[in-house]
């Protein structure tokens, strides 16, 4: 995926330059009226310092770490503003393990919107940067993300992550992962894409529309003019560019930019034909492009029949290459509907999108005893299903959701989690395993 996205961005760079500085393009198409949207959760709605568990902004998946000349020069951190945190040392306390690492960052990282991201830990973990506390994550499966703010310094930065002992009481399933998984810094310009929402519809004349809402964040301390736009690649390779929309975005706030992208003769995403529409979102600020992020849209049939079909249980147990091979084998055997027991790595859903494999996703709720019925766990249950939903609901491979693998019964907290899912998505939400 990373190599494909990187190539996609490079191929469009010349096109974007021509689009913005020379040739005219088709008129922008704005959405008429104010249609209902859901799932747009700008990162700035969180009061920092705080964890953004599962509510992750676009990741730099288009970066190529092996074929890029920048990667070969060894300065990928400065060029792409992505820096893995490795070589942790560990220290034991009476109730936790403390992981510490030092990370060298140049002055180019200062004055930007930078976050530290973890793909997850087996238990509650707390994060510090340069001995300044950033926040805490309690979910043992979903990623967490913390705003670094102005706490970075040039040259050496100290990262400290404390992983608490004990099992996650809300999710008691066996976990063979490392106690602390992938950790990295990622940075965006101060004027950047904070979130996006993409929905599709087909009108009575058979014309397709991809409704794209780009949420732009202005991290500056004063109002600034910021423009957002997009380029869409059709299945036949043609590209459609849309004139960027410019707005005055208030200081330290976000603004939504809406596009109604018309697609003639839209191709439906299905198990047999997983048609995807690559979209390159970009931000223009100060007369130049400061950020571009690739995503994919799709037209998905309203009725998926997930509740009537038999699903195959599947959880990722290997890396992306091995998992992709396994998924291809399953599809050759006619297995096209999978049911997970808990949230999977982000690339798993990308692969399912590409292969045409449908997924019933499950939140990270697998409690034992009376926890499922105890009202004091309701907030945690609801938070976990919402984080799960918002992280993956825009993937066309997702056809339904489960709050847990446990029987619903009369368990109050689990019932509330189910109702929360029904509130978030009107499509079929499974009540029982």
Give 401-426 pLDDT, tens digit per residue.
999 987 766 689 999 999 999 999 87
* Per-residue pLDDT at 257: 98
Name the pLDDT band for 74 (thresholds 50, 70, 90).
very low
E-only strand ranges, 250-375 = 253-263, 268-269, 277-285, 288-297, 299-300, 312-313, 337-339, 358-362
Return the H-helix or E-strand segment holding 199: strand 191-202
Both tokens assigned to 110: 């200062």
**pLDDT at 4 exceeding the cut of 70:** no
Candidate ranges 36-50, 66-80, 369-383; pick with highest mean pLDDT: 369-383
Cα gap 137→293, rounded to integer Å = 26
Both tokens assigned to 57: 């902004």
Contacts of 164 (CB under 8 A, 6+ apart): 95, 96, 123, 124, 125
Return the H-helix or E-strand segment holding 352: helix 346-355
State how far the alpha carbon of 245 is from the alpha carbons of 37, 214, 229, 299, 351, in Å. 19, 11, 6, 25, 32
* Per-residue pLDDT at 13: 37
Contact 231, 279 (CB under 8 A): yes
* Per-residue pLDDT at 407: 73
Cα gap 340→261, rounded to integer Å = 33
Q: What is the DSSP track for 97-142?
A: EEEEEEEEE-GGGTTSEEEEEE--BSS-EEEEETTEEEEEE--SSS
> Mean pLDDT, to the nearest integer, of 260-275?
94
Domains of the chain with bracketed CATH: 2-44+190-300 (2.60.40.10), 63-187 (2.60.120.260), 312-430 (3.20.20.80)
* Per-residue pLDDT at 236: 82
Name the pLDDT band for 38 (thresholds 50, 70, 90).
very low
Which residue would you say has higher pLDDT here, 31 or 366? Answer: 366
* Per-residue pLDDT at 73: 36
| Proportion of the chain above pLDDT 90, given as a percent | 62
Contacts of 11 (CB under 8 A, 6+ apart): none
What φ, ψ does residue 346 adopt, rounded to 5°?
Answer: -60, -35
Both tokens assigned to 216: 């732009």
Q: What is the reported pTM?
A: 0.81
Antiparallel, parallel or unpaired: β 358-362 and 398-402 = parallel
Q: Which of 87-96, 252-261, 423-432 is the least confident region? A: 423-432
Which residue would you say has higher pLDDT here, 157 or 6? Answer: 157
Contact 191, 216 (CB under 8 A): yes
**pLDDT at 399 exceeding the cut of 80:** yes
Both tokens assigned to 278: 């690559």
> Mean pLDDT, to the nearest integer, of 209-220?
96
Name the pLDDT band for 78 (thresholds 50, 70, 90).
low
Both tokens assigned to 84: 């893995």
Q: What is the pLDDT of residues 103-132, one digit of tens each?
A: 999 999 999 999 999 988 888 999 999 999
- Mean pLDDT over each residue of the chain, to the nearest integer: 81
Place of tokens 């976000």: 254
Q: What is the pLDDT of residues 294-317, one digit of tens each?
A: 999 999 986 555 666 789 999 998
**pLDDT at 428 exceeding the cut of 90:** no
Name the pLDDT band for 36 (thresholds 50, 70, 90).
very low
Q: What is the pLDDT of residues 312-354, one digit of tens each?
A: 999 998 899 999 999 999 999 999 999 999 999 999 999 999 9
* Per-residue pLDDT at 233: 93
State how far the alpha carbon of 234 is from the alpha carbons of 238, 264, 270, 394, in Å. 5, 10, 17, 19
Return the H-helix or E-strand segment holding 82: strand 82-84
Antiparallel, parallel or unpaired: β 144-147 and 113-118 = antiparallel
Cα–chain center distance at 4 = 17
> Mean pLDDT, to the nearest integer, of 351-378?
92
> Mean pLDDT, to the nearest integer, of 277-302?
92
* Per-residue pLDDT at 6: 40
**pLDDT at 69 exceeding the cut of 60:** no
């Amino acid at each position: 995926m990373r190599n494909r996205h990187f190539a996609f961005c490079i191929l469009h760079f010349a096109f974007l330059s021509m689009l913005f500085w020379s040739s005219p393009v088709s008129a922008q198409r704005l959405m008429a009226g104010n249609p209902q949207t859901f799932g747009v959760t700008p990162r700035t709605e969180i009061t920092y310092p705080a964890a953004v568990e599962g509510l992750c902004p676009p990741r730099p998946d288009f970066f190529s770490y092996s074929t890029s000349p920048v990667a070969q020069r060894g300065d990928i951190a400065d060029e792409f503003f992505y820096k893995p945190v490795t070589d942790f040392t560990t220290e034991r306390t009476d109730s936790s393990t403390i992981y510490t690492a030092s990370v060298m960052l140049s002055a180019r990282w200062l004055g930007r919107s930078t976050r530290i991201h973890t793909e997850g830990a087996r238990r509650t973990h707390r994060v510090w940067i340069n001995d300044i506390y950033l926040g805490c994550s309690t979910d043992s499966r979903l990623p967490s993300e913390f705003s670094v703010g102005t706490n970075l310094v040039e040259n050496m930065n100290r990262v400290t992550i404390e992983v608490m002992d004990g099992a996650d009481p809300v999710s008691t399933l066996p976990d063979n992962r490392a106690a602390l998984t992938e950790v990295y810094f990622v940075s965006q310009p101060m004027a950047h894409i904070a979130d996006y929402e993409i929905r599709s519809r087909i009108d009575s004349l058979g014309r397709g529309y991809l409704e794209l809402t780009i949420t732009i964040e202005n991290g500056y301390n004063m109002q600034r003019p910021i423009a957002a736009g997009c380029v869409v690649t059709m299945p036949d390779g043609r590209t459609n560019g849309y004139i960027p929309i410019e707005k005055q975005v208030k200081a330290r706030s976000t603004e939504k930019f809406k596009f109604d992208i018309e697609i003639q003769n839209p191709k439906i995403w299905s198990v047999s034909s997983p048609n995807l529409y690559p979209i390159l979102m970009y931000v223009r600020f100060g007369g130049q492009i400061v950020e571009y992020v690739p995503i994919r849209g799709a037209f998905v049939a309203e009725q998926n029949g997930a509740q009537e079909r038999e699903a195959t249980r599947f959880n990722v147990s290997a890396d992306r290459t091995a998992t992709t091979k396994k998924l291809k084998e399953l599809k050759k055997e006619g297995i096209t509907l999978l049911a997970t027991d808990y949230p999977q790595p982000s690339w798993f859903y990308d692969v399912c999108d590409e292969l045409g494999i449908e997924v019933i996703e499950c939140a990270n709720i697998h409690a034992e005893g009376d926890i499922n019925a105890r009202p004091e766990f309701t907030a945690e249950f609801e938070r976990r299903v919402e984080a799960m939903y918002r992280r993956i609901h825009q993937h066309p491979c997702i056809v339904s959701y489960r709050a847990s693998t446990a029987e619903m019964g009369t368990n109050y907290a689990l019932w509330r989690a189910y109702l929360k899912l029904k509130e978030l998505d009107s499509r079929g939400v499974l009540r029982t395993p």
